[in-house]
Amino acid sequence: MFQNNRLLIPMKMTCKLKSLQISGIVKKFKKGFGFLKVTSKINYYIPPKYNKYVMHGDRIVAELYYQNGKKFVRPIILIKPFLKIFMGYIKKIGNNVFIKPDYPLISNLIICDVKKNNARHIHDRDWFIAKLIQHQLNNGKIFQARLITLISSYNDPLLPWKVVLSNHKTNYKFPNIYNYEINFNKKIFRKNLIHLNFITIDHECTKDIDDALYVKKHDNDDITIIIAISDPTAYINIGSNLDVIASKMLFTNYLPGFNIPMLPRILSENKFSLHPNVKKPVLACKVVIDKYGNINKNFNFFLAWIKSHARLTYEDVEKLIEGNRSWYHKTSIINQINVLHELCNRRMKWRKKNAVIFKDKIEYKFHFSSSHELIKVTFQKRGIAHKIVEETMILANIIASKFISKNLGFGVYNSHIGFNETNAKNVSLILKNNGIYINSNNITTLLGFCEFRRILNTISTCYIESCIQKYQSFSVMSLTPKPHFALGFNEYLTWTSPIRKYSDMINHRIIKSIILGNSAIKPNQKMIMNIMDCKRRHRTIKKNIENWLYINFFYKTKKINQIFQAKIFDILPYGIRAQLIINGANVFIPMCHIHHVQKEIICNQKYGILYLKNKELYRISDNISVIIIDIQFDSRSIIAKPI
């Protein structure tokens, strides 16, 4: 009689599920509720009255209940807190000090265990590293933290840099080093080339100048170029104190507003820098380029002394090439610029025909006051002067790759595979839908990829470029020669920035060992992995600092309710990401601001198209007008809506 009674079923279910315990990770939302994620497809609701006992990201055990026809869970045991050691900013309320963790999905203000005498030295918006010492689920009381280290005071002009770098466990300045040895070996023979008209071309603000160029045009139209690179490894011995520090720094970290050098500034910006009219030791290569841009096989590497005869900026070179010479009268230097320009054009034509040349991208420059406040952001295209330096450095790296591969077969190589098989098929489908028919198997080969890129450069649109970009592989490092599809070469490594890149220092030493007939030390795989990890970390740090600077800049200059032109670069199920054309800031457009009826919007993320009522509304690469509606400091996001 009572077996299938409908009134008793909920009671039976409650009794059955109450004793059932499950584990998972907490996912919280701003409206006060959350979910317990058990698997990728199974989530259980956490009501607000229980949600307050846990934080986003906590791994917990919960009891499963059934009430009013719905399942929900009640957290009972903390397995692993999401927060342990964390960063956050201070919020003072009365005599109490709280810290807000630097995670957008954690809205908790956590009270800090601070003595009254110390509290008066702590201010709102100071940033600290803290440790969670008490969790509410453990004892039912409160969340509590202990402050460990001050990262930055609220009024420090370098606050964004210090916080972001601290988050990535990176120091914002070069380590203090009082005892380092530099021993220059005077016994090694170097060619004396100080009489040749070497010149340097760099940004106006560059202090660590590491390359100099000399060219000579012959009667048969061949051009000889000597590319001279600063030689810090002539001073820094393997395993020395300075070498160990450089091997940990790995790169000079170039950030908006300042840089963190790989080597002490007194060396990188002075002794090792190729300043004008000063005799400097270099590692150099000499190569002949014919009128078609081909590289003569009889290139060679050697050690030398040079003296830069002119320190030119990119702007200087642009003016000279355009014919504006009223401010400069050294004919010998002007001739150098003219021949370099011709050499650049030859190599670009050769690469366009035989390798890969990608389209130029707009670059954005941050302008700061003396107190590190962002004043403005401007966009600038790479001019011919940049391309001259770029082509000569690529030329030098091609030669070095051939030289090292032929003699040893190991070094720190750059590699890029283009597309893997799965992504190649996706790209082929995208191209087919746009009337371009390319076999997916072909673009997984170097020759096929180069041909594919040359076709796109002539017939593709910005949409196709944007659509296939996300399928392209990232470049990696390798101990042995491997193809570099993005450049179109069978092998490629760099050696032209030994002041700024430890991988280039390694390749310097390898080249010099071949020249001098010494045994070369092969780098290990751990070093390769460290270099790759460091490159990724630096890119993330730079991006995060830029986002922070944009947030502060938009807030201080009152950009809310202002209209901008933006270019869509990503379309997601929950919104659109776009870049403001005038200053490069990224904005997010939530789907709710695109159309009020969500069911009428269809997002095709694969092809980067948004449909409204089955009609195309937006696609990636579209230029649209947007208005800024919110600036969110915690998530460091700029929210916009289309107009």
DSSP symbols for 288-311: EE-TT-PBPS--EEEEEEEEEEEE
Which residue out of 58, 126, 202, 316 is catalytically annotated? Answer: 202
Please give the tally of structural domains in the chain: 5
Asked if residue 163 belongs to a domain, the reply is: no
pLDDT tier for residue 30 given thresholds of 50, 70 and 90: confident
Residues pairing with 616 in the sheet = 611
Residue 78 and residue 135 in contact, taking contact as beta carbons nearer than 8 Å: yes
* 158 pLDDT above the threshold of 70: yes
Q: Per this entry, what is the length of the chain?
A: 643
Amino acid making up residue 566: A
Q: Is 637 left (phi over 0), alpha (psi -120 to 50) or beta?
A: beta
Residue 87 and residue 101 in contact, taking contact as beta carbons nearer than 8 Å: yes
H helices present in 63-186, as ranges: 116-119, 136-139, 159-167
pLDDT tier for residue 381 given thresholds of 50, 70 and 90: confident
* 238 pLDDT above the threshold of 80: yes
The whole-number pLDDT of residue 17 equals 54
pLDDT in tens, 69-105: 889 999 999 999 999 999 999 999 988 999 999 998 8
Catalytic residue check, 314 = yes
Are 384 and 315 in the same domain? yes
The whole-number pLDDT of residue 140 equals 66
Catalytic residue check, 208 = yes
Are 406 and 440 in the same domain? no
pLDDT tier for residue 336 given thresholds of 50, 70 and 90: very high
* 44 pLDDT above the threshold of 80: yes
More confident residue, 115 or 129: 129
Asked if residue 328 belongs to a domain, the reply is: yes
Are 325 and 436 in the same domain? no
In whole angstroms, what is the distance from residue 539 CA to residue 547 CA?
A: 12
pLDDT tier for residue 1 given thresholds of 50, 70 and 90: very low
DSSP string computed for 198-219: EEEEE-TT-----EEEEEEE-T
Catalytic residue check, 126 = no
Domain range for 53: 9-80
Which residue out of 50, 235, 314, 413 is catalytically annotated? Answer: 314
The whole-number pLDDT of residue 550 equals 97
Are 260 and 330 in the same domain? yes
pLDDT tier for residue 341 given thresholds of 50, 70 and 90: very high
Catalytic residue check, 533 = no
Are 406 and 493 in the same domain? yes
The whole-number pLDDT of residue 118 equals 83
Are 56 and 150 in the same domain? no
Are 380 and 460 in the same domain? no
More confident residue, 15 or 578: 578
Q: What is the mean pLDDT of the chain?
A: 93
Residue 473 and residue 416 in contact, taking contact as beta carbons nearer than 8 Å: yes
Which residue out of 208, 243, 316, 622 is catalytically annotated? Answer: 208
**Among 174, 280, 285, 175, which residue's Cα sits nearest to residue 235?**
280
pLDDT in tens, 466-499: 999 889 999 999 999 999 999 999 999 999 999 9
In whole angstroms, what is the distance from residue 196 CA to residue 113 CA?
A: 68
Residue 308 and residue 274 in contact, taking contact as beta carbons nearer than 8 Å: yes
The whole-number pLDDT of residue 248 equals 95
Residue 618 exposure: Cα atoms within 13 Å on the Cβ side: 29
Share of the chain above pLDDT 90, in %: 82
- DSSP 8-state class, residue 43: E
Asked if residue 615 belongs to a domain, the reply is: yes
The whole-number pLDDT of residue 243 equals 95
In whole angstroms, what is the distance from residue 45 CA to residue 27 CA?
A: 10
The whole-number pLDDT of residue 459 equals 81
* 9 pLDDT above the threshold of 50: no
Which residue out of 311, 346, 453, 500 is catalytically annotated? Answer: 500
* 642 pLDDT above the threshold of 70: yes
Are 412 and 440 in the same domain? no
